């Protein structure tokens, strides 16, 4: 399928809309069913959306009935807890919104639970790596199992931890696999900033999954892309001209 794309002027301009839509989807799900399973990116891109969820939607739904499943995590056991994706999600969403349930990926027990929860994902909010990765599914990775143990590329490590190699944990991670992410009820992929323009160009330009893992979302049951102008580049000019 062709992924629907919306382009906003800036990250701050898109955040209220995306936050409102996420809150509305989760609210509908928790009203219809016992819980909603939400997989939010642990990247920096959605931080303005998480701020808008905290500021404007803490009371828009019963967050106690939301179950957050972690998308990816570092596997280095020596990584300081504060630098884990789990800690990021705790700061951004779990504690401030009083989210009812959380399944992480740090321990073997959590990972066993994650494999079960991953079969019923309602909503995923993705970022995208500069090399087109989603979760920690790097280019060339197999579509894989529900949960994969993976090697992270130097580019991903630099992007997440900076250029000083001595600050990096071991480049290993856990990630929900591409096929599992594809099957989610609805997927939103967010990209902001000129450094994401090449990855967005590959995604929207028809690159294969091997080259751009995010391309698997073209075969998702329901998916959309939300960009700022800087990330959209050519794609924005093309859609503006159409
Ligand atoms: C990181 C994470 C992904 C995230 C992506 C973009 O490595 N593993 O889950 O979506 O890369 O991150 P950021 O938004 O910080 O650029």
Q: pLDDT tens digits for the chain (242 residues)? A: 789 999 999 999 999 999 999 999 999 999 999 899 999 999 999 999 999 999 999 999 999 999 999 999 999 999 999 999 999 999 999 999 999 999 999 999 999 999 999 999 999 999 999 999 999 999 998 888 899 899 999 999 999 999 998 889 999 999 999 999 999 999 999 999 999 999 999 999 999 999 999 999 999 999 999 999 999 986 665 454 43
- Measure the CA dihedral 209/237/43/3, to 10°: -40
For the CA of 160, the closest atom of ligand 1 is: 7
SS3 224: strand
Integer Cα distance of 126 and 229 in angstroms? 18
Q: Which residues contact 105 (CB under 8 A, 6 or more apart)?
A: 70, 72, 73, 86, 111, 114, 147, 174
72 CA distance to ligand 1 centroid (A)?
9
pTM over 0.85? The answer is yes
Q: What share of the chain has pLDDT > 90, as a percent?
A: 91
> Is the CB of residue 137 below 6 angstroms from any atom belonging to ligand 1?
no
For the CA of 152, the closest atom of ligand 1 is: 7
Q: Which of 68, 75, 127 to mutate to test the pocket of ligand 1 (most atoms within 8 A of CB)?
A: 127
Cβ atoms of 138 and 150 within 8 Å: the answer is yes
For residue 164, give both structure tokens: 């000083």
CA 65 to chain centre: 20
Integer Cα distance of 201 and 108 in angstroms? 37
> Is the CB of residue 175 below 6 angstroms from any atom belonging to ligand 1?
no
φ and ψ at residue 104, rounded to 5 degrees: -95, -170
Q: Which residues contact 197 (CB under 8 A, 6 or more apart)?
A: 230, 231, 232, 233, 234
> Is the CB of residue 160 below 6 angstroms from any atom belonging to ligand 1?
yes
Q: Which of 15, 39, 42, 134 to mutate to test the pocket of ligand 1 (most atoms within 8 A of CB)?
A: 42
């Amino acid at each position: 399928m062709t992924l629907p794309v919306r382009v906003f002027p800036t990250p701050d301009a898109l955040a209220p809309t995306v936050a409102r839509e996420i809150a509305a989807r989760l609210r509908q799900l928790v009203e219809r069913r016992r819980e909603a399973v939400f997989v939010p990116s642990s990247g920096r891109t959605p931080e303005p959306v998480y701020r808008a969820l905290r500021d404007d939607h803490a009371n828009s739904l019963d967050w106690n009935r939301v179950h957050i499943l972690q998308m990816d995590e570092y596997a280095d056991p020596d990584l300081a807890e504060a630098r884990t994706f789990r800690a990021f999600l705790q700061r951004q969403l779990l504690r401030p919104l009083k989210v009812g349930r959380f399944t992480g990926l740090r321990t073997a027990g959590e990972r066993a639970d994650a494999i079960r929860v991953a079969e019923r994902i309602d909503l995923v909010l993705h970022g995208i790596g500069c090399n087109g990765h989603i979760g920690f599914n790097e280019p060339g990775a197999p579509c894989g199992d529900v949960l994969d143990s993976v090697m992270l590329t130097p580019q991903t490590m630099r992007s997440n931890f900076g250029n000083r190699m001595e600050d990096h944990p071991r480049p290993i991670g856990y990630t929900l696999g591409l096929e599992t992410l594809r099957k989610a009820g609805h997927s939103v992929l967010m990209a902001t900033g000129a450094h994401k323009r090449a990855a967005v160009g590959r995604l929207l330009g028809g690159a294969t999954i091997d080259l751009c893992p995010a391309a698997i979302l073209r075969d998702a049951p329901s998916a959309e892309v939300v960009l700022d102008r800087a990330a959209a580049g050519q794609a924005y000019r093309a859609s503006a001209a159409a």
